[in-house]
Structure 1
Amino acid sequence: MAADRKVILVTGASSGFGRLTAHTLARAGHVVIAGMRATRERNAPAVEEIRRLATTESLLLSSVELDVQSQASADAAVAEIVECHSRLDVVVHNAGHMVLGPAEAFTPEQITAVHDINVVGTQRVNRAALPVLRGQGSGLLVWVGSSSSRGGHPPFLAPYFAAKAAMDALAESYAAELIRFGIGTTIIVPGAFTSGTNHFLHAGHPADEATAAAYDSLYGEIRATIDKRLPELVPPDADVQSVADEIARIIDLPDDRRPFRTHVDPSRDGSEVVSAVADRIRAEFYHRLGIEGLLPLNASL
């Protein structure tokens, strides 16, 4: 294996950011394993696309069954990767699920399920992958977050944004706990990309339809058109491929040059400024704790 070629697992790679990222990283020369669930059922076409692309372009690209809601599935996926490639260098935490509707109308069980996919799912993958990375004394976790975790939350997406904020907090704590093992962290923060992904197409909806309907008299038009209003906030030249390109750029940087957090935000909603201030404060906090290397105090944010 070439010295700069990495073995990379991308979760939630059947569509959207994950699919583009898997393809982009493979074309950059890495060994890429696209993790997705239902590889023999719903996502069989995605698996076939990966096989065809790998053959046509001579890419080191493959797929693996990975349901982030199952620890057994995460364990089996990582074990298969290590058996085939003898190592694992990078995990891209991309798997996620969006829901759309009044927050009140989602049952507690639905809120729990959203967190189970977007937050607990990363924990299952980490518990499978981190023993390998710690054993190697090297590795990188890339977390695909959301600019919403720093403010600017549109209405009727609360459960999803709450889960993304929780994932962001988990990523920050993990970063400090892993740096001494030689495992780096970068949080990728996409803005409001509304085309090129299946977020709205596959979005879940409230189970409590009666409560949801109670919002219609005052918010019905907004609810019905929010998937069309949000794109109006995004410049027409915004390209979802830029997220995959940024992930590839970060992975190819030397360990000591990778940013802790990087924004890919076509709307420039200001969240990157808030993040820069927060990361500067965090750098000083970790410095005082004696945890060096996570974010240099002279880092360009």
Structure 2
Amino acid sequence: MSNTMNPPRIVLVTGAGSGIGRAVATTLAQAGDTVYAGMRDIDGRNRQRAVQLAALAAEEGLVLHVLELDVLSETSCRSALDQLLLEQGRIDVVVNNAGMLMSGVTEAFTPGQVAQVIDTNALSWLRVNRAALPAMRRQGGGTLVYIGSTTSRIHEPFLGPYVASKAAGDALAEVMGLEVRPFGIDSIIVAPGAFTQGTEHFNHAQGPADGAVLRQYGALPRRAAGLPARLDAIDAACGGALDVAAVGIAVREVLALAHGRRPARITVDAQQKGVEELDVLHQAKQAAFLTRMGLEDLLPASMRR
């Protein structure tokens, strides 16, 4: 559905080469937005993905640009935003999506591995925001969207480093959302459940590096390998798995709401874990405390009493 009533938004999506990022980028471009699909090494390891996105854009007549962007490099983040702003003059929406998965017994991951996943799944959001927020403040508005995870609310065994990284990113996103709101900037956390198909998360998941520790857990680590099958069974019991396109549609729909009236969080969860109920309580307690602190003006409109 084309966005014909308003001028096209200028959107940056990180990690847009595959999975959820690609789904968000293509869905927003199909809705009429001007989308920059960020990914690293577009002339090397991601060349084929870049070519495929460019071909899709040409075939469907989309304004969808592939942009060199390594979220692990602040220099790259700033260069990417400089290029986008030079070409478009503004940035309306940033979708922080790039991420990685680690799966296995938590003790067997080295501190370096845990630092790596936190860097990718949380600190990258800060790098991208630091590149985009100065322009949004000058404009007097914008929207930050984060692709989080239901695991930041309901934790699961064998995903310790990943859960920690998503919880850290979630906290950064919530606090930054409070701090940028006076500048007319919306902040929305989108929490998908697990997608065993349509992403490369499970196929490319990194395992623990400390084999000596892993062996001390006996047969337990083998249970981690069964997680995708268990999730598929839960999906089937709940009415069937969702396609990653569902996340793109959810982002499109929340962005279609009036600026300043969007929910702070939305969930896209085929497993129906009940995260939404936890969110209601969390937001009520958050709003009550900030009101007592005299900071209620920093809350999104949906959370004010």
Separation in 2, partners of 1:258, 1:4: 19
- Relative to 1, partners in 2 of residues 1:226 and 1:208: Cα closer, same or farther, differing over 3 Å? same
1:263 aligned onto 2:263: no
Deviation of residue 287 (structure 1)? 3.3
C-alpha distance after superposition, 1:86-139 (max 9, x if no partner): 110000010111011111111111111111111111111111111011111100
Helix, strand or coil at the partner of 2:260? helix
Q: How does 1:87-106 map to 2 (within 5 A)?
A: 87-106=90-109
Is it true that 1:290 corresponds to 2:295 in the alignment? yes
TM-aligned CA deviation for residue 299 of structure 1: 7.0
1:221-300 equivalences under 5 Å are: 221-235=222-236, 236-288=240-292, 289-292=294-297, 294-296=299-301
| Correspondence 1:30-49 to 2 at 5 A | 30-49=33-52
- Does structure 1 conserve the Cα–Cα contact (< 8 Å) formed by 2:100 and 2:121? yes
- Within-5 A mapping of 1:68-217: 68-151=71-154, 153-215=155-217, 217=218
Aligned partners of 1:12 and 1:36 also within 8 Å: yes
Q: Would you say the 8 A contact 2:37–2:64 is kept in 1?
A: yes
Write the deviation string for residues 21-42 of structure 1: whole angstroms up to 9, x where unpaired.
Answer: 0000000000000011111111
Instruction: For residue 267 of structure 1, report the CA deviation from its aligned partner.
Output: 1.3
- The letter of the residue matching 1:275 is D
CA contact (8 A) 2:10 2:88 kept: yes
Amino acid at match of 2:108: A
Q: Which amino acid aligns with 2:172?
A: L
**Deviations along 1:185-242, whole A, 9 cap, x unmatched?**
0110111222111101111111112222332x33143123223222222232422211
Cα displacement (A) at 1:296: 3.1
Structure 1 gap segments, 5+ residues each: none
Q: Distance in 2 between matches of 1:29 and 1:224?
A: 41
Q: TM-score, normalized by length of structure 2? A: 0.93
C-alpha separation between the residues in 2 aligned to 1:221 and 1:206? 13
Give the superposed CA RMSD. Answer: 1.8
**Corresponding residue SS for 1:184:** strand
Q: Distance in 1 between matches of 2:225 and 2:271?
A: 22
Measure the CA separation in 2 of the matches of 1:187 and 1:298: 14
Task: Find the counterpart in structure 1 of residue 30 from structure 2.
Answer: 27
1:220–1:9 distance in 2 versus 1, CA, 3 Å: same
Partners of 1:99 and 1:160 within 8 A in 2: yes
SS in 2 for 1:186: strand
Aligned residues: 298
Given the alignment of the two structures, is residue 219 of structure 1 paired with residue 232 of structure 2, yes or no? no
Counterpart CA distance in 1 for 2:105 and 2:267 is 28
Q: Which structure 2 segments of 5+ residues have no match?
A: none
